[in-house]
Amino acid sequence: MRKHMVLMLSLIFIFMLPSLWADTTPQTLGSDTITFKGFIESGLYFSVSRLTETSYNLLSDELQPDGDGVDIGSWTLRVDNPPVTETTFTITYSFAPLRSTITTIEDEIDFILLERPEDNSSEPVEKNNIIGTEVSIVLGSGLNTVTRVFSARLTNAGANTAMRAAATDTYQSDITVSLAAE
């Protein structure tokens, strides 16, 4: 029995001996590489808001060519995670003179828009159907929020027309505020 046991232990030792000195690192028999890709979209938010539902007396002092104008709307541009290259956004206004919704009244009352920062940090700038506002966003600028308030004021010709125009509360003009990117 003892002989049997010695023989058994010897066989176990013989089979285990090579594994004790062998390299236990697995051999690479082949490999390939894949690429994990990701992206971050630039968050873009643009909104235009009416500030009031008020209908203004076109003969009031604040609407005259030397007046301050009346605040009628605002726009906000917010860009999160700015693009890799500098991007310029242009905000434009498109509008026509004030006209009566009554088709028999042909008076056209010219006006301009004045635009200023929401915080009144600079003087209002005159805007028309040609002059837009440019906002440049650069890499690394993080969250960018720009808000402008726009107001209306009559031109000299508009004030003269308003002085002799038909008395009605139906004068209006639709103002379109558009955002474009370079």
pLDDT in tens, 72-127: 999 999 988 766 678 899 999 999 999 999 989 999 999 999 999 999 888 999 99
Closest CA to 171 of 50, 57, 39: 57
Sign of the dihedral through C-alpha 167, 160, 176, 53: negative
pLDDT in tens, 37-51: 987 777 889 999 999
What tokens appear for 165 in the block? 């125009």
| Average pLDDT taken over every residue of the chain | 87
Q: Which amino acid is at 82?
A: P
Q: How far apart are CA 77 and CA 181, in angstroms?
A: 12
pLDDT digits (tens, 9 = 90+) for 18-32: 555 556 678 888 889
Residue 89 in contact with residue 132, Cβ under 8 Å? no
- For residues 163-174, give the mean pLDDT: 95
Domain spanning 43-179 has what CATH number?
2.60.40
Q: What is the pLDDT of residue 133?
A: 94
Instruction: Say what the pLDDT of residue 101 is.
Output: 94
